């Protein structure tokens, strides 16, 4: 007997038919002798609908009231799933976040979980119930309802699994796992049987939006065994989806590169002709940081005649604001020659823990891109990731070229594990 937390996303809960399927799947695990805690999201589209209603009545609704409104989506889901379970003879009991009690901080619309009282859940599990807990919501110390940010039901699932010391947290979604890259860009993309938590964090933060990033961080911190799988397979399917593992537990043959992430969310800015002297990076990035703008990649070129160019990337939504700060504050202060920018760029990243121990990955990456005429504008590397900035036009080409060069369409073997 195992204790399993199952989280079902909005599409999995999208209609009475879908909810019936979820109930059948839960029933199967109960029949196999497991204790099951289920965390459903709101029905597909419901959270957007609720938030839309609020904005229709007030263009700037108060975050406290937004949480009162948005949390109802999940409340409906837990009730519906419970009655669907009863209808097929499964004992089940629903709990809102505040009934549990999932205590959070008071950052409305993006609250963080502080603690979970597991007493009621445990009692109900022992009495043979499936416990159905609303995702995405909690309560702060003063009794106000909070929500955990969009996609927050993932975090509820993982946090419950941690609090209950569950054997596994299963995230059921409309895709059947984590892929080497987006199959819409590369049809040969391969589903990964396992991916390490560190890689998943990079893949998620870089735009493979299978899991809410905070839930992955949470799973890493509390060592929750996390699995991503599809709720659209047959309820008796033994498909295991993708298991998110911890590097130290990883004893299978591991490819050097697990996946390729990409995003179009960035913009590049270059400050031209800045004097090459101590404090210059601070003079440029200080005012940007003061405006709460996050900087990603940074490059400073070699200088000629005491002048250098300084480039960095920011989120595309912050492009205009950053340009204004540089033009009005930084350029006159440091007597730079000019400021130029490009918001039609994209970032493509190779991700893999094998990079820690294998040299030559970056060179192979640059060679593959050069071979297809893709110009690299910026490069950054970390222990398990190498990223390049390219013209947005070439992003998909770059992803395809790299997927092929690193043979990510094939199962990892001795051969393609060599760099
Ligand atoms: N219903 C919430 C949302 O749409 C939470 C979730 O689905 O995870 O963001
Ligand atoms: Mg989701």
Which residue, by CA, sits nearest to atom 4 of ligand 1?
47
278 with 153, same domain?
no
Same structural domain for residues 54 and 88? yes
Q: Is 83 annotated as a binding residue?
A: no
Whole-angstrom Cα distance, residue 179 to residue 203?
10
Give the pLDDT of residue 351.
95
Model confidence over 277-308: pLDDT tens digits? 889 999 999 999 999 999 999 998 888 888 99
Whole-number Å distance, alpha carbon 400 to ligand 1 midpoint, is 31
Q: What is the pLDDT of residue 418?
A: 47
What are the b/e assignments for 244-279, b being 16+ CB within 10 Å?
A: bbeeeeeeeebbbbbbbbbbebbbbbbbbbbebeee
Q: Does 9 belong to an annotated binding site?
A: yes
Any idea what DSSP says for residue 15? S
Average per-residue pLDDT in the chain? 93
* Residue located via tokens 């459903």: 40
Residues 181 and 277 grouped into a single domain: no
- State residue 416's pLDDT score: 47
User: Does the beta carbon of 97 sit less than 6 angstroms from any atom of ligand 1?
Assistant: no
Q: What is the pLDDT of residue 282?
A: 94
- Going from the Cα of 4 to the center of ligand 2, the distance in angstroms, rounded, reads 19
Query: What global pTM score does this model have?
Result: 0.84
Domain containing residue 355: CATH number: 3.30.2130.10
- The answer to whether 74 is a known ligand-binding residue is yes
Domain annotation covers residue 411: no
What pLDDT is recorded for position 393?
96
173 annotated as belonging to a binding site for a ligand: yes
Ligand 2 centroid vs 153 CA: distance in angstroms?
A: 7
Do 151 and 228 belong to one domain? yes
Residue 42 Cα: closest atom of ligand 1: 1
Q: Is the CB of 42 under 6 A from ligand 1?
A: yes
Residue reference for tokens 């948005």: 70
- pLDDT score at 10: 96
Please tell me whether residues 279 and 209 are part of one structural domain: no
Q: Is residue 47 within 6 Å of ligand 1 at its C-beta?
A: yes
Which atom of ligand 1 is found nearest the CA of 151?
8
**Separation of CA 12 and ligand 2 centre (Å):** 10
Query: How far is the CA of 181 from the CAs of 184, 257, 385, 393, 409, in angstroms?
Result: 9, 11, 14, 18, 10
- Say how many Å lie between the CA of residue 152 and the centre of ligand 1: 6
Parallel/antiparallel/unpaired status of strands 137-139 and 168-173: unpaired
Domain that holds residue 387: 259-405
pLDDT of residue 419: 46
Same domain assignment for residues 83 and 196: yes
Rounded to the nearest angstrom, the distance between the alpha carbon of 168 and the centre of ligand 1 is: 21
Clarify whether residues 228 and 276 are in a common domain: no
Among 217, 245, 273, the domain boundary falls at 245
210 is in an annotated binding site: yes
Q: What is the pLDDT of residue 277?
A: 86
CB of 177 closer than 6 angstroms to any ligand 1 atom: no
Q: Phi-psi bin for 322: left (phi > 0), alpha (psi -120 to 50), beta?
A: alpha
Within the chain, which residues score under 50 in pLDDT? 414-419
Distance of CA 58 from the midpoint of ligand 1 (Å): 21
In angstroms, the first-to-last Cα distance of the chain is 43
Residue nearest to atom 8 of ligand 1 (CA): 151
Phi-psi region of 311 (alpha: psi -120 to 50; beta: other; left: phi over 0): beta
Q: Considering every ligand atom shown, identify the ligand nearest to the alpha carbon of residue 151 and give its number.
A: 1
State yes or no: 182 annotated in a binding site: no
Query: Does the annotation place 279 within a ligand binding site?
Result: no
Domain assignment present for residue 253? The answer is no
In total, how many domains does the chain have? 2
Q: Give, using CA atoms, the residue closest to atom 9 of ligand 1.
A: 150
Ligand nearest to the CA of 152: 1
199 and 230 in a common domain: yes
């Amino acid at each position: 007997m195992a204790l399993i937390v199952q989280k079902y996303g909005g599409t999995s809960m999208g209609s009475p038919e879908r909810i019936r399927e979820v109930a059948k799947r839960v029933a199967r695990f109960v029949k196999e002798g497991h204790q099951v805690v289920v965390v459903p999201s709101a029905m597909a589209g419901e959270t957007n609908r609720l938030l839309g209603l609020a904005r229709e009545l007030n263009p700037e609704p108060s975050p406290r009231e937004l949480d009162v409104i948005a949390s109802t989506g999940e409340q409906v889901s837990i009730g519906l799933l419970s009655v669907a379970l009863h209808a097929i003879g499964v004992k089940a009991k629903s709990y809102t976040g505040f009934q549990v009690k999932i205590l959070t901080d008071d950052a409305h619309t993006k609250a963080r979980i502080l603690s979970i009282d597991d007493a009621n859940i445990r009692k109900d599990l022992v009495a043979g119930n499936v416990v159905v807990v609303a995702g995405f919501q909690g309560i702060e110390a003063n009794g106000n309802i909070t929500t955990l940010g969009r996609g927050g039901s993932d975090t509820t699932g993982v946090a419950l699994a941690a609090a209950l010391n569950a054997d596994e947290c299963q995230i059921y979604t409309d895709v059947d796992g984590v892929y080497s890259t987006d199959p819409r860009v590369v049809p040969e993309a391969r589903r990964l049987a396992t991916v390490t938590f560190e890689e998943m964090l990079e893949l998620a933060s870089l735009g493979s939006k299978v899991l809410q990033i905070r839930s992955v961080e949470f799973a890493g911190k509390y060592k929750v065994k996390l699995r991503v799988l599809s709720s659209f397979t047959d309820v008796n399917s033994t498909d295991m989806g993708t298991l998110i593992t911890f590097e130290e537990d990883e004893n299978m043959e591991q490819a050097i590169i697990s996946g390729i992430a990409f995003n179009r969310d960035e913009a590049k800015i270059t400050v031209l002709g800045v004097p090459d002297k101590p404090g210059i990076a601070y003079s440029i990035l200080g005012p940007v940081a003061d405006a709460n703008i996050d900087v990603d990649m940074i490059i400073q070129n070699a200088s000629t005649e005491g002048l250098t160019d300084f480039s960095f990337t920011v989120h595309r939504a912050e492009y205009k604001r950053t340009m204004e700060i540089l033009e009005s504050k930084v350029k006159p202060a440091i007597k730079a020659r000019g400021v130029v920018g490009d918001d039609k760029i994209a970032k493509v990243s190779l991700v893999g823990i094998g990079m820690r121990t294998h040299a030559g990955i970056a060179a192979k990456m640059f060679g593959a891109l050069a071979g297809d005429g893709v110009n690299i504008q910026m490069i950054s590397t970390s222990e398990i990731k190498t990223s390049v900035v390219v013209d947005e036009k070439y992003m998909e080409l770059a992803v395809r070229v790299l997927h092929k060069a690193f043979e990510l369409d094939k199962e990892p073997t001795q051969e393609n594990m060599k760099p």
